[in-house]
Structure 1
Amino acid sequence: MSVVTKIAPRNLKDDVNVFSHIKYEHFVAGISGGVTSTLILHPLDVIKIRFAVNDGRLQTTPRYSGIWNAFVTIFRQEGIHGLYRGVTPNVWGAGSSWGLYFLFYNAIKTWIQGGNVNAPLGPANHLLAASEAGVVTLFITNPLWVVKTRLCLQYGSTSSSQEQYKGMIDALVKIYRYDGIKGYYKGLVPGIFGVSHGAVQFMVYEELKNAYNKYHNLPIATKLSTVQYLSFAALSKIIAAGTTYPYQVVRARLQNQHYNYKGSLDCINQTWSYEGWRGFYKGLGTNLLRVTPATMITFLTYENVSHFLMRRRENS
């Protein structure tokens, strides 16, 4: 017998009380997943960013023939420290981003469901909830991503002390000193467009879980196996990355302290003029190599930690 769950109607009081659905368990579980995957896979993030900003015009930008060559070259010239440049803001950024994203996403989703976590939403509502959660999270965490990008792009000697950072705090201070608050929000516009990446990913991930549970006549909040979580996470990430990657290239280039663009449109025009459509997909291979296992680790960790914490809440 199939399980059919209808979304309960909300009254006006429920409509304005979305914050009542916020649960810290989702925040803790999201942080756990983001930090775990970042610590394991950060070197690939450094390589991806260096590929993304290399437009062939700036001679000081390192050039690599491939992923393995980049890994070996960075390790030989900069040591293990070079492979983990920017890891501190990346851990802070990934941890807080995933924590906040899962927190806001689940609160909005549960609000739309009327408090019934077993009520199916459909692709449009999943896309809406993920988009809203993504925009809020981006405004809070964008400064950390600017710092991470700039630390990852410290190679050799830079032209001025303004571009040389001793660490995360020093970067935050210098960015504010030389660029003001707006310096923390470089790359924000493509980042907002990039919210579509997370929205597509979450939509596909949720729909895959729902379809699986519906096929097996299970409530949609049912805890799945490790293999199922890993498979759904990988497929959703590949689809999302393939459709939204260009914004990440534009965002990384806008945040690059070694080159100045007048804005997002100028960056897009220059990339197209000098490199064609391929310029918008530089670093995609490295990105997929990194983000696919990262997403698998993040979602698996999140699902297990959140289910564990929610069970504790119910038992208490």
Structure 2
Amino acid sequence: MSSAQGHGQGQGRGQRTAAAIADPAEAPVRGSLWKLFSHVRGENMVAGLCGGAVSTLVLHPLDLVKLRFAVSDGLELRPKYHSVWHCMKSVCQQEGVRGLYQGVTPNVCGAGASWGLYFLFYNAIKAYNKEGRQTELSAKEHLVFAAGAGVMTLCLTNPIWVTKTRMVLQYSADPSQKMYKGMVDALAKIYRHEGVPGLYRGFVPAIFGTLHGGLQIMAYEELKRSYNKHRHKHSEAKLGPLEYITMAALSKIFAVVSTYPYQVIRARLQDQHTSYKGVLDVIQRTW
């Protein structure tokens, strides 16, 4: 009996060895993936999630204004706004302060999830590529890693952004006349009437938009490295709160100025009041 068991175990080991020999490419791939995910740190995700959620909650009214201006195309059903202040004032007069926070739930959820996942993926990729390396990462590498993390994040969060856009662009002051009653209701109705493609409207320009995060991270890392070099310190040396805020603000301005047109295209593709055939159609009709 023991001889048979030994023979069976030997056969099992032989089969596993043969399988490994038959497909030697699998082992390095599994090893690389394991090494990559071994660099995942939960604190990066938590920090990004909390930071993204809090900042979005505070700045949501400005995001609402930005979206309403982005889709302004002369349709009769859209209110006409002359300035940022006029838009905020008009919304407050019609719906109260609560109107300025229309769509805030998917915005907070989307921002929290996006920044949390983004930092999780970005730091894992960066740590994986820095392992055993003596030289600093280049600006190009920071951009590529950040863009890759952005695409991975977008695949998981695009439906939330479609929901946010749809809810922000509900202009009626009467709640009973609004198509979407909340985030879950919007997700369900979009899926029911438009299917999965409806949840991924604006995905193509949003892929280009991952450069936004990439440019921001690249600029931030380069600013931090240059500043620490000026102070004769290591590139990863910690900075003060004001220094972090200043560099984050400058890198954000750089990214926004560089990629803003994509946000207009994405918003118009996700708008429920106007139908476009695709990115080129949006560009032609907007231009």
Residue 186 of structure 1 aligns to a residue whose secondary structure is: coil
Percent sequence identity over matched residues?
Answer: 55
Q: Which has the larger radius of gyration?
A: 2
- Equivalent residue, structure 2, for 1:198: 213
Q: Distance in 1 between matches of 2:42 and 2:132?
A: 16
1:80 is aligned, of 85, 90, 97, to 97
Q: Distance in 2 between matches of 1:179 and 1:105?
A: 32
CA contact (8 A) 2:143 2:217 kept: yes
- Equivalent residue, structure 2, for 1:54: 72
Q: Report whether the alignment pairs 1:154 with 2:163.
A: no
Q: Where do residues 107-118 of structure 1 align in structure 2 (5 Å cutoff)?
A: 107-114=124-131
CA contact (8 A) 1:119 1:220 kept: no
- Equivalent residue, structure 1, for 2:115: 98
CA contact (8 A) 2:94 2:173 kept: no
- Equivalent residue, structure 1, for 2:225: 210
Q: 1:32 to 1:119 in 2, by over 3 A?
A: farther
Q: Distance in 1 between matches of 2:32 and 2:58?
A: 41
Q: What TM-score do you get using the length of structure 2 for normalisation?
A: 0.86
Which amino acid counterpart does residue 232 of structure 2 have in structure 1?
A: N
Q: Distance in 2 between matches of 1:119 and 1:204?
A: 19
- Equivalent residue, structure 2, for 1:175: 190
- Residue deviations 1:191-213, cap 9 Å, x none? 00111111111100000001111
CA contact (8 A) 1:21 1:115 kept: no
Q: Distance in 1 between matches of 2:132 and 2:40?
A: 11
Q: What TM-score do you get using the length of structure 1 for normalisation?
A: 0.78
Let me know the Cα RMSD of the aligned residues: 1.8
Q: Report whether the alignment pairs 1:251 with 2:269.
A: no
Q: Distance in 2 between matches of 1:119 and 1:74?
A: 53
Q: Distance in 2 between matches of 1:133 and 1:35?
A: 19
Which structure ranks higher in relative contact order (CA pairs < 8 Å, sequence separation ≥ 6)? 1
CA contact (8 A) 1:176 1:183 kept: yes
Q: Distance in 2 between matches of 1:38 and 1:24?
A: 21
CA contact (8 A) 2:107 2:164 kept: yes
1:128 is aligned, of 141, 144, 165, to 144
Q: 1:108 to 1:155 in 2, by over 3 A?
A: same
Q: Distance in 2 between matches of 1:134 and 1:156?
A: 34
Q: 1:115 to 1:75 in 2, by over 3 A?
A: farther
Which amino acid counterpart does residue 21 of structure 1 have in structure 2?
A: H
Q: Report whether the alignment pairs 1:235 with 2:253.
A: no
